[in-house]
Amino acid sequence: MPLDFITFAAALAAAGSGSSGAIITENTDAAPALGTLANGGEYRCTNASITTAPAMTVAAISATTEPFSCSVVFKAPDATAPVITNNSGYTLKYSGQDVSGGVWTPVTGTVYRMSLVFDGIYLNVYVSGVSA
């Protein structure tokens, strides 16, 4: 199911999306290991010949009022989704492009933005992509 414009725009705004408040981290590795994602961060995997989808960790979220949002940008090398070690204590919920039944299957060569947004109930992963 596609995201409506308002939901998508809100997800991008919450996840930084290059705004002046975002802390942008570039990773040029062919097999990017991003470590623990920071609230307000934007992680750009810019290697032109990426060999594996990025791996990352979400730290514990201690309260439903704790803010957490960030984004990860990468070009899919194959149909394998990024590995997310989810220590947040909340369920990951995927929606957006190339997501069916809550399961994301990337399309090789597509540049994706994963926007992770905690809403106090779920850790939502909004997926948008642009084909090469």
Cα–Cα distances (Å) from 90 to 16, 61, 64, 111, 127, in that order, read 21, 8, 10, 27, 18
105 compared with 19, residue with greater pLDDT: 105
Is residue 16 scored above 70 in pLDDT?
A: no
Is residue 103 scored above 80 in pLDDT?
A: yes
Using CA atoms, how far apart are residues 109 and 56, in angstroms rounded to an integer?
A: 20
The pTM is what? 0.84
Contact 16, 43 (CB under 8 A): no
Using CA atoms, how far apart are residues 132 and 118, in angstroms rounded to an integer?
A: 30
Give the mean model confidence (pLDDT) for residues 45-71. Answer: 96
Place of tokens 């060569």: 109
Give the mean model confidence (pLDDT) for residues 69-82. Answer: 97
Give the mean model confidence (pLDDT) for residues 65-80. Answer: 97
What is the reported pLDDT for 8?
47
Give the mean model confidence (pLDDT) for residues 45-62. Answer: 96
